[in-house]
Amino acid sequence: MAGVDHNLPAATFVCSVCGAEAPSDPLRWRCACGGAFDLRFTPRFARERIVARAPSLWRYREALPIHDDGAVVTLGEGLTPLIALDLGRTVWLKQDQLFSSGSFKDRGASLLISHARALGVHAVVEDSSGNAGAAIAAYCARSSATGHPIACTIYVPASTSPAKLAQIAAYGAHVERVAGSRDETARAVRAAAAHCYYASHVWNPCFIHGCKTFAYELWEQMGWRAPDTLVLPVGNGTLLLGAALGFRELLEAGEIARVPRLIAVQAAACAPLATAFSAGAAAPLPVTRTPTLAEGIAIAEPARGAQVLAAVRASGGQVIAVDEPAIADAHARLARAGLYTEPTAAATIAGLLQELPGLAPTDCVASVLTGHGLKNVQPAAH
């Protein structure tokens, strides 16, 4: 792809809270006011160019805010299969468990590490003991294997199980275990981010601009249409905010008539956004966390929580919570249909099953499998 001029419009980092433009310093990972940055960027969609390109998320080239083709870090990710599943009625599922590192987070990691490479960055830090850490580590390894070394350090709480860290370490990332709570891990990564690029899946808007390709792919795979209802998981909300952004861009470009109604699913064991939604609050409410099978969405203080609530409300949707037996049931039901997912991914389908009876029979309903079952193999219960 090197050398192709897509004549892309400029992308500017802008604060999601106060609207201030970011200074050009790449070490500034959030606004002086504390707000997270969004990107100001106008995408373009050219269907005849899209369909002529290879089956990866980079086929939407004119809609992705990376200017230099030489900086693109790719493992051929994207255009995951869309399959029909009969749950009493047909629902459409994107198989995002099939990404190279085993979760949808490769969408965001490909864009974010490409952005870092374009900036000339050779070392990054990130905090995540789960799939985001694995995806960032994978794309740093890919960049290093394709002529631009990027050293990666992932900060995790010392209590994180060694099994979850094996994949991150295998990619060659350095795992930095921090004694104490999650807060202390956050403090440690922020100290490191003062002098090293912070490749945060939560704070860096390039990650969300990778996740927006989920919406583009659904649009293309459904025959250039949007579904009526879209059921997605929400922990930090990177996939939900990405999908909401992608559909809003398609609407503004005149490519679709309506944005889908967004149903966001949390585990009842840790549901700050479902609680806030029910209470009519604009920001996540404090919750007491209890253990859950869906550990990948158990985020007590989502930094972009207010943005998630606003996106769901603007779509006419809702944030719901599912209990542990419902997650276990959905996990088993998916596996019996040939779909082996991690329990976190099954929580989304538990939410879908909970909401289906209330949806209009004519509604076109879509959802996602976010993570692969081989991430988290548990001995069979029966």
- Per CB under 6 A, residues contacting ligand PLP are 103, 105, 130-131, 233-240, 296-297, 299, 342, 344-345, 370-371
Smallest gap from Cβ 11 to Zn ion, in A, equals: 18
Q: How far apart are the first and last CA of the chain?
A: 50
Smallest gap from Cβ 300 to ligand PLP, in A, equals: 12
d(C-alpha 154, C-alpha 177), whole Å: 9
- Alpha helices (H) in 174-323, listed in sequence order: 182-193, 205-211, 213-221, 238-252, 272-279, 305-314
Cβ proximity to Zn ion: between 37 and 45 the closer is 37
Q: Distance of CA 27 to CAs 95, 150, 207, Å?
A: 35, 16, 16
> Pick from ligand PLP, Zn ion, none: which does 103 bind, CB < 5 to 8 A by kind?
ligand PLP
> Pick from Zn ion, ligand PLP, none: which does 33 bind, CB < 5 to 8 A by kind?
Zn ion
> Pick from Zn ion, ligand PLP, none: which does 239 bind, CB < 5 to 8 A by kind?
ligand PLP
Cβ proximity to Zn ion: between 33 and 253 the closer is 33
Smallest gap from Cβ 303 to ligand PLP, in A, equals: 10
Cβ proximity to ligand PLP: between 143 and 344 the closer is 344
> Pick from Zn ion, ligand PLP, none: which does 54 bind, CB < 5 to 8 A by kind?
none
Smallest gap from Cβ 25 to Zn ion, in A, equals: 15
d(C-alpha 222, C-alpha 224), whole Å: 6
- The answer to whether 78 and 107 have CB atoms below 8 angstroms apart is yes
Cβ proximity to Zn ion: between 17 and 50 the closer is 17
> Pick from ligand PLP, Zn ion, none: which does 236 bind, CB < 5 to 8 A by kind?
ligand PLP
Cβ proximity to ligand PLP: between 150 and 299 the closer is 299
Return residues touching Zn ion (CB under 5 A).
Answer: 15, 17-18, 20, 31, 33, 35
d(C-alpha 8, C-alpha 353), whole Å: 41
> Pick from Zn ion, ligand PLP, none: which does 371 bind, CB < 5 to 8 A by kind?
ligand PLP
Task: Tell whether the torsion through CA atoms of 134, 152, 207 and 218 is positive or negative.
Answer: negative
Smallest gap from Cβ 79 to Zn ion, in A, equals: 35
Task: Tell whether the torsion through CA atoms of 281, 283, 286 and 291 is positive or negative.
Answer: positive
Smallest gap from Cβ 106 to ligand PLP, in A, equals: 10
**Alpha-carbon dihedral angle through residues 242, 261, 233, 207, given to the nearest 10 degrees:** 0
* Angle, alpha carbons 83-89-94 (nearest 5°): 25
Stated as kind and residue range, the H or E segment containing 69 is none
